[in-house]
Amino acid sequence: MSETLAIPQIEQAEIKQAQPNLQFLRVIPGILLLAAIGYAGKLLEQNVGKYAKAHHWIFPNIEYVLWAILLGLAISNTVGVPAIFRAGVATYEFWLKVGIVLLGARFLLGDVLKLGGVSLALVAIEITGAIAFMTLLGRLFNLKPKLTTLLAVGSAVCGVSAIIATQGAIDADEEDSSFAIAAILALGALALFTFPLIGHALHLSDHAYGLWAGLAVDNTAEASAAGALYSDAAGKLAVLAKTTRNAMIGFVVLAYAIYWASQGQAKTVKNKAAFLWQKFPKFVLGFLLISVLATYHFFSKEQVTALANLSRWAFLLTFAGVGLRTNFREMRKQGLRPFAVGAIGEVVIAVFTLGIVIGAQKIWGW
Amino acid sequence: MITSDATLEKQSARPPATKISWDTWAVLAAFLAALLIRFGVVKHIPW
C-alpha cells in the first residue's frame, strides 16, 4: 500500500480492519478523537459567538457542524491523523448510519412517503441525467470506460460506497477506483463550503435546499453535513433525499454488472435478487422501521426528543470524521484528469438538480 | 495500491456470508439504543 492513497485506505482497508466484532479495542482512540473534536465544535459554537458579542466584534454565527469539520480539516492537513487513531476515525460512516436510523424517529411515515415519493421522482431524474452526462464526459476526456463507469455511479448514486460496490461488481482496477474515490471526496469537500453559500444567495427554502443537497452532493456524510450547515430542517431533508438515492444503489450497480458481463469483462450475475439484497443499504430499512414505530406512538414525545438528540451526537462524530479524513495534499496526488471530469460533471449535476428542485418547488409550492 | 473488498475477500479464508456488514451493525446499534430509551433504561439524552 503506498502512502499516496491514504484516504481510500482509510475508506476501505481501515474500515475492514475496524470491524466491530473483530478488533473493538483498536477503534477506541479514534472514536475518542472524533468525540473530542465534535464536542470542541459544539463548545466553540456556544462560546465564540458569546465572546465576540461581549467584545463587540462582528463575527458570523458558525454552527457546530462547520466547527467540527474545520477542526478535523486543520488536524488532517497539518499534523495528519496518527496511525493509532485511523481505525477509529474510519468508523465515522458507522456513526453516520446510526444517526440516520435514529433520525427516522423525527419523521412520521406519512411524511416519509410524501417526501420520499417526491424525492424518488427527483432521484430517478437525477440518476438518469447524471449517468448519461458523466458517460458522455468520460468519452470526451478519453477516460478508461470502467473509470468512467465508477465516476458515473459515484456522482449519480452515493459516492464512495457506490464506487466500492461497483468496483467489485464490474472487476474494475483498484487504481481506477482510487481515482474515482479521490475525485468524489475532493468534490464533496468543496460542496460543503459552496452549497450553503449558493443556497443563501438564491434564498432557497429549507425544504428546497435540503432536497438539492441530498440530490447533488455525492457522499452521504457530506450531503448530511451540507444540509445541516444550512439549517436543522434542511439537514433532515438532505438526509431523506440522500437516503432515497442510496436505496437505488443496488439497481444501478446491477445494471452496470449486467452490462459489463455482456461485454465479457465482468462475472455474470447469477442470482439477481441476492445481488440486490447484498448491495442494498440496510440502514435505509432501519430508518423506515424507526419512522413506522414513531408514527404508531411506540415512543413518547420525550423519547422521540432523546432519540433525536442521540442522532445529533452520532452526526457530530460523523462531521468530525469528514474533516479528519479529508486531506487535500493526498487528493492532489491522484491526478487531474479524473478530477476535471468529476468537477465538470458535479457542476453540471448541481445546476441540473437545482433546476429540477426549483421546478418541483413551483409545482408543490413548498 | 489500495486493498479492495475483492482482494481482502480473496486474502481472507472466511466465507463472506458469516460476516455482519458495517451497515447491519449500525442498524443493530441504533435499535439497541432506541429500545434502551423506549424501556426507560436511558431516560434523557441532553444536547
List chain A domain ranges: 3-364
Domain count across chain B: 1
How is residue A254 written as a grid cell?
446491477
Give the residues of chain A that fall short of pLDDT 50. Answer: 1-13, 15, 17
> In which domain, by residue range, is B40 found?
19-47
Mean pLDDT by runs of 10 across the 47 residues of chain B is: 44 56 91 95 90
Give the pLDDT confidence score for residue B17 in this predicted structure: 53
Model pTM score? 0.74
| ipTM higher than the 0.85 cut | no
| B39 is a domain residue | yes
How is residue A252 written as a grid cell?
444501478
Q: d(Cα A241, Cα A37) in Å, to the nearest integer?
A: 27
The closest of A329, A337, A271 to A77, measured between CA atoms, is A329
Residue recorded with cell 442521540: A310
Return the DSSP state at B21: P
Measured between CA atoms, the residue of chain B closest to residue A334 is B1
Q: d(Cα A119, Cα A121) in Å, to the nearest integer?
A: 5
Q: d(Cα A258, Cα A266) in Å, to the nearest integer?
A: 8
Cβ neighbors of A244 (< 8 A, separation 6 or more) are A116, A119, A120, A123, A214
| B32 is a domain residue | yes
* DSSP letters spanning A134-172: HHHHHHHTT--HHHHHHHHHIIIIIHHHHHHHHHHHHT-
Residues of B in contact with A299 (CB under 8 A): 34, 37-38
* Chain A interface mutation, best of B11, B37, B39, highest count of A Cβ atoms under 10 Å: B37
* Partner-chain residue, chosen from B27, B42, B44, that has the shortest CB–CB distance to A101: B27
Cβ neighbors of A361 (< 8 A, separation 6 or more) are A205, A207, A208
